[in-house]
Structure 1
């Protein structure tokens, strides 16, 4: 399937994997594909999102907020605060030393090195569905390639993953974005 991807679409997948690693996630989800698209400001998909008010920084902040911090909630932080422990300060220090998301990583994967610095990170079922839907979108438009715009169409069509939630929170009109993508995706890859 990836042989039909344009260079920008392939780069989106590479950048999605980088985003997953940077955030300490052991999977590539729809949110990582969205971050991969936004990491390439020169592409059609990124330009259409940015003009609607969704940039990489906002998207990443929203992803982190929606995912939350596994294992600890506000009640835990409050309880620790009563005995003089500032959980957010500890988290900042740990992440400054070990990298962003260090407290969220699965220690077994980090020990094995499987996801810590290299190797394959698996796609979630939803992310795989987005890739499949991007192919369907390309076929619907009678294109013989899959570009970044087709990936964004796939995210819109999937419509239920974390990427869709980020898009919705940004106030993006899915139907209008879809229409703009249909109009602007070139029939021949750039």
Structure 2
């Protein structure tokens, strides 16, 4: 599948793997990697919509810190029923000291089988890349560019990337429309 990726979108995937470090690549890593290239069409559309890379990085860091205590799904479920996990963590930090809930960083794993066990991409990130291909095919493009990866992130809609964009006040449908307009203007 990567043979259809442009050099710029391959660089996004490479950067996402770098962002992830020892973790599997998730949607947040793909979004951060997209934001790293200011000349990419996807990044320009985000910037034109008032989305700033530094703000999203900070939001992702806060989101990851919140979900480190519980799983991502648990944190999302608590938000849906009105429980402010950040306020609870702040009170725990007041009582027990900063970072009391953070898990210790595990030592590096050795052996190729452990590095390969989790796979390089989370299921959501794989879905985003599959959706990027579908978006390119839908637009009758023979390549997969950064704009298609962004459209894939928006189509997937449930990952950390989409949630963080939504929390930043981005209307995902409007962003999708603006990406499609930009793609047509370039073509």
Q: TM-score range by the shorter chain?
A: 0.7 to 0.9
Aligned partners of 2:129 and 2:104: how far apart in 1? 26
* Equivalence for 1:17: 17
Q: CA RMSD in A?
A: 2.9
Contact 2:49 2:175 in 1 (8 A): no
Question: Normalized against structure 2, the TM-score is what?
Answer: 0.76
Per the TM alignment, residue 111 of structure 1 is displaced from its structure 2 partner at its CA by 4.2
* Equivalence for 1:96: none
Per the TM alignment, residue 178 of structure 1 is displaced from its structure 2 partner at its CA by 1.4
* Equivalence for 2:80: none
Aligned-partner SS, 1:65: helix
* Equivalence for 2:140: 142
Aligned-partner SS, 2:142: coil
* Equivalence for 1:78: 94
Aligned partners of 1:28 and 1:173: how far apart in 2? 25
How many corresponding residue pairs?
163
Question: Normalized against structure 1, the TM-score is what?
Answer: 0.74
* Equivalence for 1:152: 150
Structure 1 unaligned blocks of 5 or more: 82-86, 91-100, 115-119
Aligned partners of 1:176 and 1:76: how far apart in 2? 39
Aligned-partner SS, 1:68: helix
Where has structure 1 moved over 4 Å in runs of 4 or more? 186-189
Instruction: Please list the CA deviations of residues 33-59 of structure 1 after superposition, one character each: whole Å capped at 9, or x if unmatched.
Output: 000000000111001111222222111
* Equivalence for 1:37: 34
After the TM superposition, which of the residue ranges 164-173 and 143-152 deviates more from structure 2?
164-173
